[in-house]
Chain A
Amino acid sequence: MKSNADLLQGTLDLLVLHILSGGQQHGWGVAQALKDRSQDRLIVTQGSLYPALHRLEREGWIKSEWGLSDNNRRAKFYRLSPAGKRQLELETDRWRRYTAGVDLVLSGAPG
């Protein structure tokens, strides 16, 4: 199993912000989305998602509130803040330029 230590620094933040840009979600939901959308390629230790969520909240990029889940249980929901939206754009852009750069290098001849 991969742990998020294998994820590139900051990638988890980007992924979480992206997932939350689709609407509010609780922690388990974020973990499931991560798993499903990566087709099980990115499996994050679920527990390590929470420190990340709380960190993003402290940065002011996401907001949280307690509400009721589908099955009527108390759950904590996270949603993107306006600042988070900007941050997501910034991070996505940075990620794209980074991977494009890496691709260019890898597609060339070695040596």
Chain B
Amino acid sequence: MKTWFSRRDIDRELEDEIQFHLSLETEANRRRGMSQADAERQARIDFGPIESVREEMRAQARTYWIRERLKELRYGWRQLLRSPSYGLTLVGILTAGIGLSVAVLTVAHQILLAPLSYADAGRVVILQEVNADQRLEPEDASPGNFFDWVDMQSGFSHLGASAPYGLDLRSGDRLISLETSRVSRHYLPALGARMAAGRPFDALHYEAGAEPAVILSWESWQTRFDGADGLVGSTVELDGQPVRVVGILNERTPDLRGAELLIPLNMSPGEASGRSGNYLSVVGRLQDGVAIDDANEDMQAIALAIAATHPTTNSGWSVRLTSLREHLLGRETGIVTALLVSCLLLLGIVFANLSTLAMAKGLARAPELAIRYSLGADRRVLIRQLAIENLVPVVISLVLGAALAWSILNILARYAPPSLSDLSHYDFGPTLAGGLTVLALITTLVSVVLPAVRLTSRDLASAMRISGGRSTRSRQNIRVQQALIALQVCLTMVLIAGSGLLYQSLQKLLDTDLGFSHYGRVTAELFTYGLHPDAASRSAFAQSLIDELGNRPEFEAVATASAMPLTPALYSREGVEVIGGDVGDGLRASANSVSTQYFDVLDIPLQRGRIFGPEDDFDSQRVAIVSEQFVKRFFKGASPLGERLRFGVLGPPREWTIVGVVGDILDAGPATPPQPIVYVPNAQARIGGMSIIAKTNGPVDNATELLENEIWRISPAQSLSSSGVLTDAVEKALQAARFVLTLLSVFAATAVGIAVIGLYGTTSYFVRRRKRETTIRVALGLTPLRALMWVQSQTLAACLIGILIGGGVLLMGMVWLQALVYTTSIRDPFVILGSAAVIFVLAVLAAAPSSIRSANTDPSLALRQD
């Protein structure tokens, strides 16, 4: 046991021993007639160099310690090989538990806590306009509002805005339109974007007549310019003009819209005062010491003041501040929290399991330990030996678990949807190591230290007859076992039912009817202003595209629109005024100018009135079609046919008469509720860009290329962007949900697997403990079937308690769970009852083999064994 003393103790003992030796030698020398001084000197000489003796003994102690531990590890390894099923179970459960939970903990840490790459990102907020009365999704700001905010605000050091735009880049003999953001001077400083090369725009770039300048995104630098060195400072040709490259954004701090190019935002006074088009993404950087809530209050006061001066457009509209993290990952945080909780539940199951396994293992070892103890073995030695025995599988599992977590994370980083794509830049190492360390400590405590102490602390004499199950101790043990069964059942049930409810909710989301057909529809976004500067020629060009493409046998129907659902082609948000009604002010709707075939191509159903026809041309009465939501929100469901509207940006103020109502579409994906939309005919107004959509005639290979080539055949100089199959866009919108669903399924399945193994282990341990009692009952005439029921009733009672507690926990947790998930409701009694039933059946099955064995034992055999 010397090795357990501190090094100082060893040194002191050695010192005492040496001093004793020297004094005896000195006395002997004195007897030989030496003087005291000579005697002492000679004693030291005969002893030899004391320091080297000390050093040798210390070194000896060290190598001895290592050798002993290796010996114990080898012994532990042999013990593990002796009962491979126990070892495999332990390693399997621990590996799965550690691997999965460390991976999830790491992802959760990244999404919920890890610092964003933007400079001092905690102070960055996104400002959006909100309208509580109209229940609209928060939206971007109009220029007029933005510039008022800039003038009136006091809480921000920078307040910047960006507006979407498109610039053409020549690639071979084609023009490609690149997503571009026009950014105000304070946009990049407010966001805290870092530069990979060059610098942000400065005041000179915003002066009238300044040389055109551009900042590239990391991606466009890599893909469009092959990561060329020396690009900064040179000029590139955009829209046929030479433009100076002043900088390249850092890979990890992209523009919030994901624009490939950034150019300075300069507005004419007319544009800058407009309040009916909401197309500015506004980013603010809070001043030091200003809390987001204070800034929020401040901005709301400002919004009230603006609404008072501009009631038509701003009545009811306020401002909402969102932290950058919530803006970037907001939708994901809820689901990640749910994953985190399920991860904790899984760990709970794993550790309950480990305790059970350790107890079962201890039961098997108890007689041996008792014998060794009674033969005088040191208790500390026994503890150490047991601990090291258990340490072997724990260490193996930690290594395997770390490898598993690492592979899971790499898979996640590769396949995670773009909304979680920050994962691909993330350095998992530190969090992974931290999580592993914590888990290693808990695991060591639960499955190494505690069982060893427990096993040796019990009255070891009683351990000799432990299999009889007669002592008070063993009755307490049965209570502990029952509690462990109940705990595992409860946790498993919460996990299964919780995952089931989330799964159901996500499944509903995936099954949501979007309100339009996307299968076999291809789209392409065109920029027409350059080639067709005036409205009439744009309209004529659109019609020629529709006609020519419509003649192709591959396309059944073709339409154009200024915006397409689920594609980057943005809807324009417009202030809407209902003339002569008492509908109120501050109405806003998405506006889309469409060709007559649009509703047909997308299968958007007409509900009332009519759709557009050829008669709705430039010279005839202005007409509009509105969506169901538009009617619900602005007309309280009353018929809007014949009502007249006024819009801000659709040319000079004109009145538009509502002639039809169509079904709602979920244009931003299934997780966003439908928004009010107003459609106007292409021929009467065009808003923003132009997208073309074609419905293919049955399945067509390479439909996207076909569409692109046709457009270029008709208009060779046309620039195109974001062409693709609409179904892909739908898939992209569902990617995050699908991804989480897969994760959840894997998680729940693992948990169930571990729980079943655990239940099997626990019940078989339990049954073994009660074997004697069972056999006596059988000997006294209990039929085997009754005996089986009796054995099962012991474990199933614990199961039922677990199920009841689990049900209670679920009911309480439901409110919280609901807040996490998407729009669908999760209250489903069938999921809860179903999971209870599943658990119960699993418990019965897990308990069955050992119960049957126990009930069938020949009493004489079982008693003799004891």
Chain A residues near B (Cβ < 8 Å): 3, 26-28, 31-32, 45-48, 50-51, 54-55, 58, 69, 73-76
Contact = CB atoms under 8 A, between A and B. Distances in A.
Contacts of A26: 20-21
Contacts of A47: 18, 47-50, 52-53
Contact of B60 (A3, A51, A74): A51
Contacts of A48: 48, 53, 56
Interface stretch (B9-17, B251-259, B600-608, B807-815): B9-17
B48 A28 contact: no
14 contacts: A27-B21, A31-B21, A45-B46, A46-B25, A46-B46, A46-B47, A46-B48, A47-B49, A48-B53, A51-B53, A54-B61, A58-B64, A69-B20, A74-B20
A77 B677 CA distance: 98
A99 to B, nearest CB: 28
Contacts of A50: 14, 17-18, 53, 57
Contact of B21 (A28, A51, A55): A28
B60 A46 contact: no
A54 B20 contact: no
B24 interface: yes
A45 B47 CA distance: 6
The interface residues of chain A, by DSSP majority, are classed as helix
Contact of A75 (B14, B20, B28, B53): B20
Contact of B16 (A45, A51, A76): A76
Nearest to B56: A51
7 nearest interchain CB pairs?
A: A47-B48, A45-B48, A47-B53, A28-B24, A28-B21, A47-B47, A46-B47
Nearest to A55: B60
A25 to B, nearest CB: 12
A46 B28 CA distance: 14
Contact of A76 (B13, B25, B53): B13
Interface in B33-65: 46-50, 52-53, 56-57, 60-61, 64
Contacts of B50: 47
The interface residues of chain B, by DSSP majority, are classed as helix
A67 B445 CA distance: 39
B57 A51 contact: yes
Given A27-B17, A27-B20, A47-B52, 13 more contacts: A3-B48, A46-B21, A46-B46, A46-B48, A47-B18, A47-B53, A50-B53, A51-B57, A58-B64, A75-B17, A76-B13, A76-B17, A76-B20
A69 B23 CA distance: 12
Q: Which one of A45, A46, A58 has the highest number of Cβ atoms from chain B below 10 Å of its Cβ?
A: A46
Nearest to B17: A76
Contacts of B28: 32
A81 B98 CA distance: 47
A58 B24 CA distance: 26
A26 B25 CA distance: 12
Nearest to B14: A50
Contacts of B17: 27, 50, 75-76
Nearest to A26: B20
Contacts of B23: 73
Q: Which one of A32, A51, A73 has the highest number of Cβ atoms from chain B below 10 Å of its Cβ?
A: A51
Interface of B: 13-14, 16-18, 20-21, 23-25, 28, 46-50, 52-53, 56-57, 60-61, 64
Contacts of A27: 17, 20-21
Q: Which one of B20, B49, B50 has the highest number of Cβ atoms from chain A below 10 Å of its Cβ?
A: B20
Given A46-B25, A48-B53, A50-B53, A73 B20 contact: yes
Contacts of B16: 74, 76
A50 B20 CA distance: 12
B72 to A, nearest CB: 14
A13 B100 CA distance: 55
A69 B60 CA distance: 27
Contacts of B14: 50
A9 to B, nearest CB: 16
Contacts of A45: 46-48
Nearest to A44: B48
Given A74-B16, A75-B20, A76-B16, A54 B47 contact: no
Nearest to A4: B48
B455 to A, nearest CB: 24
Contacts of B46: 45-46
Contacts of A32: 28
A32 B43 CA distance: 13
Nearest to A3: B48
A36 to B, nearest CB: 11
B60 A54 contact: yes
Contacts of B53: 47-48, 50-51
Contacts of A74: 16, 20
B24 to A, nearest CB: 4
A47 B19 CA distance: 11
Contacts of B25: 28, 46
A27 B13 CA distance: 13
Contacts of B61: 54
A3 B46 CA distance: 11
Contacts of A46: 21, 25, 46-48
Nearest to A45: B48
A41 B544 CA distance: 120
Q: Which one of A27, A47, A55, A76 has the highest number of Cβ atoms from chain B below 10 Å of its Cβ?
A: A47
A48 B18 CA distance: 11
A54 B25 CA distance: 20
A31 B21 CA distance: 10
Nearest to B16: A74
A74 B56 CA distance: 24
B21 to A, nearest CB: 5
Q: Which one of B18, B28, B46, B52 has the highest number of Cβ atoms from chain A below 10 Å of its Cβ?
A: B46
Contacts of B18: 47, 50
A26 B19 CA distance: 12
A20 to B, nearest CB: 15
A89 to B, nearest CB: 23
A33 to B, nearest CB: 13
Contacts of A54: 57, 60-61
Nearest to A57: B2
A43 B18 CA distance: 18
Contacts of A31: 21
B50 to A, nearest CB: 6
Contacts of B56: 48, 51
A7 B53 CA distance: 17
A35 B17 CA distance: 19
A59 B52 CA distance: 22
Nearest to B13: A76
A51 B52 CA distance: 10
Nearest to A35: B46
A75 to B, nearest CB: 5
Contacts of B64: 58
Contacts of A3: 48
Nearest to B24: A28
Nearest to B68: A58
Contacts of B48: 3, 45-48
A47 B48 CA distance: 6
Contacts of A69: 20, 24
Q: Which one of A28, A31, A32, A45 has the highest number of Cβ atoms from chain B below 10 Å of its Cβ?
A: A28
A79 to B, nearest CB: 15
Contacts of B24: 28, 69
A45 B49 CA distance: 9
Contacts of A28: 20-21, 24-25
B375 to A, nearest CB: 13
A34 to B, nearest CB: 12
Q: Which one of A27, A32, A58, A74 has the highest number of Cβ atoms from chain B below 10 Å of its Cβ?
A: A58
Contacts of A51: 53, 56-57, 60
A45 to B, nearest CB: 4
A13 B57 CA distance: 16
